[in-house]
Structure 1
Amino acid sequence: MGWALALHGGAGDIPRSLPPERREPRLATLRRCLDLGAAALRDGRPALDVAELVVRELENCPHFNAGRGSVLTTDGTVEMEACVMEGGTLRCGAVSGLSTVVNAVSLARLVMEKTPHIYLAFDGAEAFAREQGVETKDPSHFITEDNIERLRQAKEANRVQIDYTQPMKGQEAPKETQAPMDDKTGTVGCVAVDTAGNLATATSTGGLVNKMSGRIGDTPVVGAGTYANALCAVSATGKGEEIIRHTVARDVAALMEHRDLPLRDAAARVVAGAPRGTVGLVAVSADGEVCMVHNTTGMFRACATEAGHAEVGIWTDADANGESVSVGL
């Protein structure tokens, strides 16, 4: 047994031709957040604190689809959502429809700790944020030029876009999964197990480009995009509707619990059972095993363990550019 953590920055059809100026800032942020989380676990911080800490940093990075980088609804607004869960206690908190809260993940934790509820959304969640004195910004703070352009392209093509999805060359993708080549933002998440064996997960997203106002995805749905129990912690990314249909995060835990499968086998079976190109996840087990698996072309991801293994990657195999390599911490 030992501490471990894994984090992701979205999954999808990430082309190997992704230019360095779009690839490197994301990888650099993953490395920095991995260092931050590993240092916190080495210092004895609880898993829930670490998952929240890492996701806050990812929310503050405009290159990912969460917090500052959240994509826009069809109305040109931001509707952020997040969820946290603690494995040993099954305590959880979730929020949706946020337009002013700087760190949705921290508000989700406050819902868990300060209310008798699990899930708050839209005006009620915003009112709770003001009551709790969390940091907020004018909605314009979250609306970036890149995401204005993504929305323009999506509207022009009458598309609703998921993370990192592009049509295949010479082949038009289904309308619900099409995206322009420069749509390169991703949902974020972190899972951790601390030195005491406590498990926690946190996930945050801005949702889909050009989504209907009021649409809620998998991220805040406990058991779909986010789940933890005494056996494992899971954070998923991809097409929310499919992740909800396949109860992805809970099914990983259920296969471990009811079929006695190891984490890697459980995660691989769940991801393989979802439609190809729709799901990725990161997970850790109570004994410090780490799993990062996807049925998409790639997934921005990173992990580290107390045993000394560390990895930052995008695709499933190492290549000359080193996008899937072991790195020292």
Structure 2
Amino acid sequence: MGGWAIAVHGGAGVDPNLPKDRQEQATRLLTRCLQIGISALRSSLPAIDVVELVVRELETDPFFNSGRGSALTEKGTVEMEASIMDGADRRCGAVSGVTTVKNPVSLARLVMDKSPHSYLAFSGAEEFAKQMGVEMVENDYFITSDNVGMLKLAKEANSILFDYRIPLESCGAAAVENPPLHMNGLPISVYAPETVGCVVVDSQGHCAAATSTGGLMNKMVGRIGDSPLIGSGTYACDICAVSCTGEGEAIIRGTLARDVAAVMEYKGLDLQEAVDFVIGKRLDKGKAGLIAVSSKGEVTCRFNSVGMFRACAAEDGYMEVGIW
């Protein structure tokens, strides 16, 4: 094995009723982002630059839950979070509670490269963004009419809402009538395990990962999920890179991303074995998925939810784009 490899995800926990046109829209976006990454890798861009480039593209398109199109808090606002990690030297950067930064993943990169810290949040992250001169927009830029409607439904159902890509008219009753599930011990009608992410190994064998999200529809203000937490939602080292998506609370409890690397390091498992072990043994009844690459050029996607929006490719010609 060897050579470059890349994987992209747009979230786990897909609603089985997702309309055909939305499925096709998702597949087109995933394919476009995958091609952007492949072109960058063929141009010898380092892994860390490629993951930032691809996640920026996902944040800019409103289809998935990150950047523009982010899920709304209980107050109807957007609080975004993102992280990035360079496996070559295990440097990392993360941000939470970002409300006006157009591309949170690039702010996370600046935290890594231009600050003495690894993680900045809320007003501190916003202040740092202004100092760095990144592109800022009004909070309204991130809010879509679909998500405003979904927040209303979530409030009526007194729940955290599942899949905001389902047309509003087809999910009102379902949101209220479904039997309660549980997240972190709390009953909820429906759940929104949505995130975007990218993992890359370049032709030098260097691994990198980046993850970005708007979090949960109708989440409490101030809630932080797994995506910006290094070792939970995102991790990269000299042997692999991982980006997770799904029930954030379960991913946090399982330190999912770091565990993939740990069982490779300490048990000597290969990438697929490590990912299978972690999804099977570390999820604590949660629903989630992850994408991963190894320094040997391996790439894999695995999930225990109904589906996960994903696309991956390797230098040897392997390519897959899938939802279910």
TM-score (norm 1): 0.90
Alignment match of 2:279 (pick from 263, 271, 280):
271
Among the aligned pairs, what percent are the same residue?
57
Q: How far apart in 2 are the matches of 1:127 and 1:111?
A: 12
Per the alignment, residue 236 of structure 1 pairs with 244
Counterpart code for 1:240? G
Per the alignment, residue 179 of structure 1 pairs with 190
Counterpart code for 2:204? A
* Displacement of 1:278: 1.3
Where do residues 85-124 of structure 1 align in structure 2 (5 Å cutoff)? 85-124=85-124
Change (3 A) 1:169 1:152: closer
* Displacement of 1:168: 10
* Greater displacement, 160-169 / 264-273: 160-169
Contact 2:181 2:189 in 1 (8 A): yes
* Displacement of 1:18: 2.1
Change (3 A) 1:218 1:162: farther
Show structure 2 runs of 5+ residues with no match. none
Alignment match of 2:312 (pick from 295, 298, 303):
303
Contact 1:73 1:212 in 2 (8 A): yes
Per the alignment, residue 199 of structure 1 pairs with 207
* Displacement of 1:248: 0.3
Change (3 A) 1:248 1:162: farther
Contact 2:181 2:190 in 1 (8 A): no
* Greater displacement, 162-171 / 263-272: 162-171
TM-score (norm 2): 0.92
Counterpart code for 2:181? P
* Displacement of 1:171: 5.5
Deviations 1:254-313 (A, max 9, x none): 000000001111111111121455110000000010010001010000001000011100
Counterpart code for 1:227? Y
Counterpart code for 1:212? M
Q: How far apart in 1 are the matches of 2:313 and 2:70?
A: 27
* Displacement of 1:33: 0.5
Per the alignment, residue 36 of structure 2 pairs with 36
Contact 2:111 2:120 in 1 (8 A): yes
* Displacement of 1:150: 1.1
Per the alignment, residue 62 of structure 1 pairs with 62
Change (3 A) 1:29 1:259: same
Specify the SS of the correspondent of 1:67.
Answer: coil
Contact 2:194 2:216 in 1 (8 A): no
* Displacement of 1:24: 1.3
Per the alignment, residue 323 of structure 1 pairs with none
What is the number of equivalent residue pairs in this alignment? 311
Contact 1:14 1:299 in 2 (8 A): no
Counterpart code for 1:141? Y
Show structure 1 runs of 5+ residues with no match. 316-329
| 2:191 is aligned with 1:190 | no
Moved over 3 A (4+): 161-171
Contact 2:175 2:190 in 1 (8 A): no
Q: How far apart in 2 are the matches of 1:286 and 1:220?
A: 23
Per the alignment, residue 225 of structure 2 pairs with 217
Contact 2:161 2:175 in 1 (8 A): no
